[in-house]
Amino acid sequence: MVNWRRCLYLAHRWLGIGLCLLFAAWFFSGVVMMYIGFPRLSVDERLAALPALQAESLQFGPRALLAQLDGDLQIDSLRLSTVTGRPAYLLRTAGREQLGMFADTGERFTEFGTGDALRAAAVYAESLGIAAGYGPTYLGRIGMDQWSVSSELHRHRPLHRVSLNDARGTQLYVSSRTGEVVRDTSTSERAWNWLGANLHWIYPLQLRRHGEVWYWVVVVLSLTGLVSILSGAVIGCMRLRWRKRYRGRDVTPYRGAMKLHHLLGLWFLIPLTTYLFSGLMSMGPWGIFDEDVPYATQRASYRQVPPAQSALQGSAGAEELRQVLVARPHSREVVWHWLAGWPHLYTVGGGNSREPLTMRPASVGAAVPVDWTQAALAQLNAMMTGHAVSAVDTLTAYDNYYYVHHDDWRPLPVLRVRYDDPAQSWFHIDLATGELLNCLTATGRLERWLYNGLHSLDFQFLINRRPLWDLVVIALSVAGFVLSLTSVVIAWRRLRPKSRRSPGRPARKLRPDSTAVAQPTS
């Protein structure tokens, strides 16, 4: 007959031995990630590194680019920006292909080379006022390295890596498809990430380049850790005595590291369990958070972008854009978007300030008093035919479902429109531009709590009261780290070579459960 107690103790012991160092690394790296995230180029950083668009350099309008494309091509995004110091139109197709044209000469983009990457880096450094020792240095062309494994960079590969030779040790990654700087890293950022994101996400390049393998490694380790936690919880409760205490005073039979491990594991059982469980939820295992109607489909229905040949009908040409840039000399970009098939555009300035445009001759460059609420509601109702609006709210401050954390950016105010469809959809509309920002269903809201809420403690009463959030997260992480260290000590005692006993000295008998190693959560 199977002795279930013995199986429980053995499972917990050897899972603890196998995972204790990983769990300690997870807790430590989580604290590092609170302050130093994985390298990326934030919205604010990207805009700050762009020079203001110069009206006199603009010789061609966006229709000149579309005229060179397949007339049936579907546009995903279009903007006027700066590439290697020159004004350029950047277009992404619905198939995620990157296309472009320089607005000063009408020259179509081809692949950007070494010289282009160095010019892009020089413009970046000049715009940010970075003092480089002797100018940018080209470090090579790469497909992927440790700091560029993110899937969002796939459409820009291969990448050019350039060093700015500045005091921060800045290295830039330049797209060979668009000539844009798409990522920046510094020496300290790279160093800390070996103790932060690379540890926490199990992110070595050799593993991460194989996305499916990496996914299952994280899922299996998370599930194994949960088994370790639950087995430890059962053992911990079984070994706890409130009456007939051990040695007349202790609720635990253990001493030293085992005692601390036993008590800490029970005291912090709930936060430790939810921490590891939410880490598993971050992977969306087995498609549990997949939507019946993908957001990309809803966004396409809201925008209804015509084919390329007619996508910009009635929109601005080169002369009108020059007038806009004269009226708004601090504009970094001009962005086109569509609502119900009609093109709209706005300028983006420093600090991500956005101003819609009107092309009426008498008021070129003036802000448009567009009633985006009515226009957006009309289009959403057309999309959601058969379902009624259950609520319409204007958000002027972040809440539990529309918020930012750390250095992220989201526009305010926004319009939230709720529907009574089976998915219980909530749409968020940018009231400055009329753009659809996202759609949050009941499934998405559940994911928000099971992952962000439980893993990062993204609760408004905490993240709006920093450093309270910092203190709570660090305290729980320290508890988990100490618990993990007790597992390391216990595991070492179990695995270290046994010293020889003196001749004639009998071996001390141990209870079957006295050497069990309890294991912390992630």
pLDDT in tens, the chain (522 residues): 678 899 999 999 999 999 999 999 999 999 999 999 999 999 999 999 999 999 999 999 999 999 999 878 999 999 999 999 999 999 999 988 999 999 999 999 999 999 999 999 999 999 999 877 788 999 999 999 999 999 999 999 999 999 999 999 999 999 999 999 999 999 999 999 999 999 999 999 999 999 999 999 999 999 999 999 999 999 999 998 888 888 878 999 999 999 999 999 999 999 999 999 999 999 999 999 999 999 999 999 999 999 998 999 878 889 999 999 999 999 999 999 999 999 999 999 988 889 998 654 344 444 444 689 999 999 999 999 999 999 999 999 999 999 988 767 899 999 999 999 999 999 999 999 999 999 999 999 999 999 999 999 999 999 999 899 999 999 999 999 999 999 999 999 999 887 665 555 555 544 544 444 444 443
Distance CA 123, CA 86 (A): 10
Record the pTM. Answer: 0.89
> Cβ distance 444 to 437 under 8 Å?
no
> Cβ distance 180 to 85 under 8 Å?
no
> Cβ distance 483 to 261 under 8 Å?
yes
Q: Which 3 state secondary structure label does DSSP give 421?
A: coil
In whole angstroms, what separates CA 240 from the centre of its chain? 42
Q: Strand 86-93 and strand 75-83: pairing?
A: antiparallel
Q: Which of 363, 407, 297, 395 is nearest to 33 (CA)?
A: 407
> Where along the chain do its domains lie?
43-192
Q: Strand 436-440 and strand 75-83: pairing?
A: unpaired
